[in-house]
Amino acid sequence: MKQLPALRRITEGRARSSQLTTVYFDTPERDLQQQGLSLCVTRQGRGYLQSVTQTGMLPGTLPDWMEWEGPVPGQDIDLAAIDSKKLHRLLQDIGAERLQPVFQTDIQRSSRMLTFDGGGTARLELDRGQLLAGEASAPVVEFRLTLESGAPEPLFDLAQEIYQTVPFRLASMSMAARGYALLGPDEARFRKNGGLDLAADDTVEQALVQIIGHCRDHLRANEVSVLTTDEVEGVHQMRVALRRLRAAMRIFRPSIAAEHYAWITDEAKWLTGELTEAREWDVFSEEFLTPVAQRYDADQGFTELAEAVEQARRRGRQRARDAVADGRYTGFLLRLDAWLSSPARRAGATDEPPAHLDEPIGQHCAALLKKRDRQVRKRGRDIASLSDTELHELRLAVKKLRYAVGFFEGLFPPKQVKPYQTHLAGLQDALGHQNDVAVADTLLRGLAGETGGAPPPVWAYAAGQITGWYRHAAIAARQSLVGDMGAFLQTKPFWKGA
């Protein structure tokens, strides 16, 4: 990588090498980790640097006061050096005397300065070494590009140029998170989406960047779960993140150049498709097969069906892992990061700017919500007579509305939002179960088709039992949908002008 022409051409001076040893501290109960914090002391040359940062999968989830960095006299922690009163108090409550080394990194770093054509500078750091946690260890091979001055566009261009020659994966865990993972699993690795921090006077463009960036962070926070575990929630949360991303793109479509809308939604659809098989079999196994099979625990048909379903789940999980590890996914993230970071990259090929970018989001969100609310009310008003296709279209409209509410609910008083959100969530869950029944039937038919015309497998009767069980339940559930829809129709929207 050091010899890449793209790097050699813009490198200023000689590379500087340094040895860094970083020791991370925590209590035996991992109190700091539970607070989302990491505390470490790094030795570089003759100096020591103490840092308090987050242990999260990705940056940006902690308030500023919970991060601190400063020099200390030696390799031991020095809480007195921390000048943030809130952070100092939090660490004191945990107990300084209980903090002890838990893992460390030994890194050889090569650092060089880069000067871009047309101005702007960046720092490139190449790290090689080891992460040591008890008896466990893992190699560290990373590079980091940090913009020092100028516009971000050249930095992203360089990252993409490097990627074309030296394929890499974007890191999805902090070094602290990697260290805790080496110590042993102590919590689920999947991550749900956190709250947004929109303000009514944010421009449409600022809201667009924050919301789509939030969806990207939600997506990336579940990479490790999909790649390294069999948690069903990891795949589910990645699909939720992608649905939220696509919903956000639709909401802001008038403000997004057509060519950018196309490639972002195309890539999101591709990845969603790669994750769908795993999710569908997870839902079938957990919510359909297991509850019925428990009543027939001695039935050979259910045993063999469970084995066939587990094989299908494994195929789906591998397909999901392959997609997340694929270069196409990394390329999508690089391009999306560049698009989010640069107004110039968000501009279209024409001279006509997208609509409403400089206007306050507070003036637009009511109209955006009203449009989607109207679609749900129109489609669901006569829900008892809807065909399966029309019911599916209603489910999609409800989902789009719920994501829109999730994006903008922080702009309204919680007491006004809660009743609407509660009835909307209940309606979505009921419609989702109806869809799951239809998907289960399709999955079982496909599984039976894999026998290639051979006599029906032993588990065919078990499959029929499950299908009949849930189709009968779906009849009653559909009747209750009328009540769910009625409750929503009687709920007053929480935005003005509804």
Query: Is residue 192 domain-resident?
Result: no
Query: Is residue 432 domain-resident?
Result: yes
Question: Which pLDDT score is estimated for 452?
Answer: 62
Closest C-alpha to 266, from 189, 195, 218, 336: 336
pLDDT band at 417 (very low <50, low <70, confident <90, very high): very high
State percent of the chain over pLDDT 90. Answer: 69
Question: Which pLDDT score is estimated for 3?
Answer: 76
Query: Is residue 181 domain-resident?
Result: yes
Closest C-alpha to 129, from 49, 50, 52, 42: 42
Closest C-alpha to 205, from 346, 406, 401, 368: 346
Q: Assign residue 479 the CATH number of its domain.
A: 1.40.20.10
Question: Which pLDDT score is estimated for 59?
Answer: 46
Query: Is residue 23 domain-resident?
Result: yes
Q: What is the mean pLDDT of residues 103-116?
A: 96
Q: Is pLDDT above 90 for 185? A: no
Q: Is pLDDT above 50 for 373? A: yes
Query: For the segment 135-177, what is each residue's pLDDT rounded down to a tens digit?
Result: 999 999 999 999 999 999 999 999 999 999 988 999 988 899 8
**Two structure tokens written together for 473:** 């339940």
Question: Which pLDDT score is estimated for 455?
Answer: 54
Which region among 23-27, 87-91, 401-405 has the lowest average model confidence (pLDDT)? 87-91
Sheet holding 121-133, edge to edge: 68-72, 47-54, 37-44, 11-26, 100-115, 121-133, 136-149
Residues 341, 435 share a domain: no
Residues 124, 10 share a domain: yes
Q: What is the mean pLDDT of residues 56-76?
A: 71
Residues 291, 439 share a domain: no
Q: What is the mean pLDDT of residues 372-398?
A: 94
Q: Is pLDDT above 70 for 66? A: no
Which region among 39-43, 52-56, 136-140, 143-147 has the lowest average model confidence (pLDDT)? 52-56
More confident residue, 24 or 197: 24
Q: Is pLDDT above 50 for 206? A: yes
Mark which of 156, 187, 218 sits at the end of a domain.
187
Mark which of 159, 187, 215 sits at the end of a domain.
187
Q: Is pLDDT above 80 for 270? A: yes
Which region among 185-189, 195-199, 269-273, 425-429 has the lowest average model confidence (pLDDT)? 185-189
Residues 244, 145 share a domain: no
Q: Assign residue 153 the CATH number of its domain.
A: 2.40.320.10
Q: What is the mean pLDDT of residues 64-73?
A: 81
Residues 216, 108 share a domain: no
Question: Which pLDDT score is estimated for 60?
Answer: 45
Question: Which pLDDT score is estimated for 374?
Answer: 96
Q: Is pLDDT above 80 for 53? A: yes
pLDDT band at 88 (very low <50, low <70, confident <90, very high): confident
More confident residue, 260 or 497: 260
Q: How far apart are CA 82 and CA 188, in angstroms?
A: 31
Q: What is the mean pLDDT of residues 86-93?
A: 86
State percent of the chain over pLDDT 70. Answer: 94
Question: Which pLDDT score is estimated for 190?
Answer: 86
Closest C-alpha to 233, from 182, 275, 183, 194: 275
Whether 495 contacts 332, CB under 8 Å: no
Instruction: Please spell the DSSP secondary structure of 51-93, one letter per residue.
Output: EEEE-SSSSS-S-GGG-EEEEESSSS--GGG---HHHHHHHHH
Residues 368, 322 share a domain: no
Residues 409, 466 share a domain: yes
Domain that holds residue 240: 199-359
Q: What is the mean pLDDT of residues 413-438?
A: 93
Residues 140, 168 share a domain: yes
Place of tokens 């591998």: 318
Q: Is pLDDT above 70 for 237? A: yes
Residues 377, 265 share a domain: no
Query: Is residue 194 domain-resident?
Result: no
List, in sequence order, every residue forming a beta bridge with 70; answer none if it has no partner.
50
Q: What is the mean pLDDT of residues 419-448?
A: 92
Which region among 28-42, 159-173, 186-200 has the lowest average model confidence (pLDDT)? 186-200
pLDDT band at 299 (very low <50, low <70, confident <90, very high): confident
pLDDT band at 486 (very low <50, low <70, confident <90, very high): very high
pLDDT band at 179 (very low <50, low <70, confident <90, very high): very high
Residues 382, 305 share a domain: no
Query: Is residue 193 domain-resident?
Result: no
Query: Is residue 40 domain-resident?
Result: yes
Query: Is residue 234 domain-resident?
Result: yes
Place of tokens 């990588």: 1
Residues 298, 222 share a domain: yes
The structural domain count of the chain equals 3
Q: Is 463 strand, coil or helix?
A: helix
Question: Which pLDDT score is estimated for 65?
Answer: 53
Query: For the segment 325-372, what is each residue's pLDDT rounded down to a tens digit?
Result: 999 999 999 999 999 999 888 887 665 667 788 999 998 999 999 999
Residues 318, 464 share a domain: no
Question: Which pLDDT score is estimated for 91?
Answer: 87
Mark which of 134, 152, 187 sits at the end of a domain.
187
